[in-house]
Structure 1
Amino acid sequence: MAKISPFAPERLAELPPIDGVRMASCAAGIRYAGRTDLLLALFEPATTVAGVLTQSKTASAAVEWCREHLRHGMARALVVNSGNANAFTGMRGSVAVKETAHAAADVADCLDADVYIASTGVIGEPLEPSKFVARLAELARSATPDGYEAAAQAIMTTDTFPKLATRTCKIDGVDITLNGIAKGAGMIAPDMATMLSFIFTDAAIEPGALHAILAPLVEDSFNAITIDSDTSTSDTVLLFATGTATKRGCPRIANGDDPRLDDFRAALAALMRDLSHQIVKDGEGLTKFVKVTVTGAETKAAARVIAKAIANSPLVKTAIAGEDPNWGRIVMAVGKAGEAADRDKLAIRFGDIEVAKDGEAAPDYVESDAAAYMRGPEIEITVDVGVGAAQDTMWTCDLTKEYIAINADYRS
Structure 2
Amino acid sequence: MGDHLLRDLTPQVLSVLVRRGADFAAAEDAVQDALLEALRRWDGDAPDDPKGWLVTVAWRKFLDARRSASARALREVAVRREPAPGPAGQADDTLLLLSRCCHPSLTPASAIALTLRAVGGLTTAQIAQAFMVPESTMAQRISRAKKTLVGAGFAAPGDVRAVLRVLYLMFDRGFAGGGEADIAAEAIRLTRQLAASVPGDPEAAGLLALMLLHHARRAARTDAAGELVPLALQDRSLWDAAMISEGVALLQGALVRDRLGEYQVQAAIAALHDDAASAEETDWPQILEWYDELVELAPANPVVALNRAVAVGHVDGPLAGLRLVESLDANLPRRDAVAAYLHERAGNLEAAARSYAAAARTAPSSAEMTHLLKQAARLNRARSD
With normalisation by structure 2, the TM-score equals: 0.30
Q: Which has the higher strand share?
A: 1
**Which has a greater percent of helix?**
2
- Which structure carries more relative contact order (alpha carbon 8 Å, separation 6+)? 1
